[in-house]
Amino acid sequence: MFKSKKDSRQAVRFSRNGFRLRGNGRLNLAKIGDVRVRWSRSLPSAPSSVTVIRDPSGRYFASFVVQVEPEPLAPVTSEVGIDLGLTLYAVLSDGRVIDNPRFLRRAERRLRKAQQVLSRKVKGSRNRGKARLKVARAHARVADARRNWCHQSASRLVRDNQAVYLEDLAVSGLARTRMAKSVHDAAWGMFRRVLEDKAARYGRHVGIVSRWLPSSQTCSVCWVVDGTKPLHVRIWRCEGCGTEHDRDLNASRVILAAGQAERLNAPGGPVSPGVEIPHRARPVERGTHPKAQPVTTGSQAGIPAL
């Protein structure tokens, strides 16, 4: 049955008493019987439920819910800030870059031809159904390649760095601009979710800095905010210290400094990037009090007096 108007997949879920794993690798479903399964991996533990999903291209998937223990990786000292973009998918604070694969752009010609063939078919005919499947399969290949690339890239970042810092991009807002197709093709939201999931599993940290951080306007050397710059300006010189910056590399270094400062001072108030912190902020107990508290002036609630 359809679960959502926005999701064209069909799915049915079987609880613990509704399915069984046979010894020959087959899946037995209640009121259906044995189903042949092409296993992508072995199950790490006994599943508690299974969801059978049919996607628009006609493929069936069995998704099991299992208990997985954390697999922390050996600690490393490196941390990295990432500035996401469209020309280059990501620029890292250590100078490395990740090219934008542009899966949808590369497949546009094939998708356009399949869509043209579909538009010429008579509605309700069998040939139209076949053409619709060809369009769905072409889109599925693009989505699968993008998802696989996100997992591989996120795994490399999590394996090589103890902490990864990103900017909280307004993807839904950017998807309503003239760059909408490129923004959707980049899949920044998927990349962030995959990165956070892998970091939680392997004992790494992912920090998200505010989208209002002027990362493209702040000098990563002297921390002077140098003002707004149009998108075509890729290299600029700081008016405070005279350092020449690559726009994306400088932004990734500002994101790294801001993320490290927020992580260090998470229990307390915010801090400007690059400012030396003389002590670690102490956590403050917050909650309701049994008695009315006197009104205090000259101090901020929740911040301990030093």
CB atoms within 10 A of CB 197: 14
Residue tagged active-site, from 55, 79, 167, 226: 167
| Catalytic residue flag (residue 244) | no
| DSSP line for 116-179 | HHHHTSPTT-HHHHHHHHHHHHHHHHHHHHHHHHHHHHHHHHHHH-SEEEEE---HHHHTTSTT
| Catalytic residue flag (residue 83) | yes
Whether the CB-CB separation of 10 and 54 falls below 8 Å is answered with yes
Residue tagged active-site, from 83, 185, 196, 226: 83
Residue tagged active-site, from 55, 79, 196, 248: 248
| Catalytic residue flag (residue 144) | no
In 3D space, the residue among 80, 90, 38, 91 whose CA is nearest the CA of residue 60 turns out to be 38
Amino acid at 138: A
Alpha-carbon distance of 115 to 7, in angstroms, equals 20
Q: Is 282 left (phi over 0), alpha (psi -120 to 50) or beta?
A: beta
Amino acid at 25: G
What residue ranges in 5-162 does DSSP mark as E strands?
10-14, 19-21, 27-29, 33-35, 49-54, 60-65, 79-84, 88-92, 97-99
Q: Which residues, in sequence order, are CB contacts of 90 under 8 Å at separation 6+?
A: 82, 83, 84, 97, 98, 153
Alpha-carbon distance of 158 to 73, in angstroms, equals 9
The catalytic residue positions are 83, 167, 248
